[in-house]
Amino acid sequence: MTAVSPDLLRRFDVPGPRYTSYPTADRFVEAFGQEDYILALEQRRTGSVAKALPLSLYVHIPFCESLCYYCACNKIITKHHDRAEVYLRYLSREIDLHTAHCGVGQVVSQLHLGGGTPTFLSDAGLRELMAMLKRSFTLAPGGEYSIEVDPRTVNADRLALLAELGFNRLSFGVQDFDAEVQKAVHRVQPAEQVFALVESARSLGFDSVNVDLIYGLPRQTPESFDRTLEQVAQLRPDRIALYAYAHLPERFKPQRRIVSAELPTASSKLSMLSRSLDAFMDAGYVYVGMDHFALPSDALAVAKRQGRLHRNFQGYSTQPDCDLIGLGVSAIGRVGATYSQNSKTLEEYYDFLDQGRLPVVRGLALTRDDLVRRAAIMALMCQGELLYESMEQAWLIDVRQYFAAEIAQLEDMAEQGLVRVGPEGIEVTAMGWFFVRGIAMVFDRYLQADRNRARFSRII
């Protein structure tokens, strides 16, 4: 993949959505509230097709013991673990309100605990959370049950507990192994600690171990990041997520503690990305899409080869396209042709539940055009192709006419060797996979009409 030229990387170094949904979450409106969401839940319960499809669950645990300066997540910094006990009681209420409308025992094939730091919960808290989920939902055998792990909050015994509770996938937040970079972002965790935890996870039989990395952090250089890449190659996780750091201190208060003068230059960031692509390919990883890499034997790489890749609010997934229920403060869900998001503050979240109300504060009911464009964007981002015939049969449209402006806009990308536009459809090339967000942006009606893209991370 050395053919990914610096010129192309530079050209696509622009902000753009990650398309974990379409329309994107910045398009949600406050006019969509609890009543709209309840209607979607009840339609799911009575609809034969939706009812037959398994659910995906996302649970947001907002607490962290210490602040990572780069973080843009919804989190609460505290060392008071009793706050988590209160939070679990309210989560239980929210789960009960959901099952009152969609029924008890619905089958779940995917569960993800995110944050914050899910492993902020005590062993007893983790047991309690899983018990309440299993009381209300049926976790399908062979499902994908994952949790984000801060290596500083677990040891081999805690990993054994996670395995006992049914988790089969772990995601370790590493970001960078360099000690100076770790100090600059206030997240010090020795490489030896991560290596020991990954070894323990393998001995416990977890199906997949993911490692998150970030390039563009303060005090990083292409040379220092090379050393991290070498260590990751030795660690050999099943999956790697490589993210570009987006420095937006005006939006995310923790980032104001980062010394701007210590951030790498744009050319250094591009060099880190280019060298990362080469390093992962040389180490035998498959480029799944966007910022995700996987070993050829991993389920994500297999799903891509077989055309079974899907995408939801947790990123790429092997699970079929299904409804997602988001639980906890700020959690986002998708049920039927709707998106919804919970309140972003604990105070408001608790207040809603004290009133016996679901804490939905905004969302969106998708139009037919939204659904058509979502299908097109997800086809490109997951299967790497948009086949005209299948789109026409599914949506009863003339694709060439419906997307005439978009197809014309792709001509320049075709000249760059990123897509092939033929009589049967649009195909993303091997080179184009590295810029698939940019290709998808062409089909985003809202983005094409609104050139204010600074709120998004950069697409490479």
For the record, the structure tokens of 305 come out as: 């080869």
Residue type present at position 223: E
Question: Residues marked as binding?
Answer: 58, 64, 68, 70-72, 115-117, 148, 175, 187, 212, 246, 332
Partner residues linked to 149 by β-bridges: 172
Distances (CA, A) of 53 to 44, 49, 64, 109: 10, 7, 34, 9
For the record, the structure tokens of 168 come out as: 């089969």
What is the sign of the dihedral through the CA atoms of 218, 219, 222 and 226? negative
Strands 208-215 and 239-244: parallel
Which SS3 state, helix, strand or coil, does residue 203 take? helix
The candidate with the shortest Cα–Cα distance to 169, out of 114, 126, 208, 211, is: 208
**φ, ψ at 415 (rounded to 5°):** -65, -30
- The residue whose two tokens read 């503690």 is 257
Alpha carbons 347 and 329: distance in angstroms, whole number: 10
Alpha carbons 446 and 6: distance in angstroms, whole number: 29
For the record, the structure tokens of 65 come out as: 């013991």
Specify the DSSP element, H or E, that contains 439. helix 436-441
Which SS3 state, helix, strand or coil, does residue 88 take? helix
Q: 297: buried, middle or exposed (CB in 10 Å: 19+, 13-18, 0-12)?
A: exposed
Question: Residues marked as binding for S-adenosyl-L-methionine?
Answer: 58, 70-72, 115-117, 148, 175, 187, 212, 246, 332
Partner residues linked to 287 by β-bridges: 293
Which SS3 state, helix, strand or coil, does residue 8 take? helix
Residue type present at position 277: L
Partner residues linked to 55 by β-bridges: 108
Are the C-beta atoms of residues 73 and 342 closer than 8 Å to each other? no
Are the C-beta atoms of residues 348 and 34 closer than 8 Å to each other? no
Residue type present at position 437: R
Question: Residues marked as binding for [4Fe-4S] cluster?
Answer: 64, 68, 71
- Spatial strand order in the sheet of 425-428: 385-387, 425-428, 419-421
Q: Residue 250: how many CB atoms within 10 A of its CB?
A: 9
Are the C-beta atoms of residues 340 and 37 closer than 8 Å to each other? yes
Where helices occur in 283-345 by DSSP H, the ranges are: 299-305
Which SS3 state, helix, strand or coil, does residue 327 take? strand
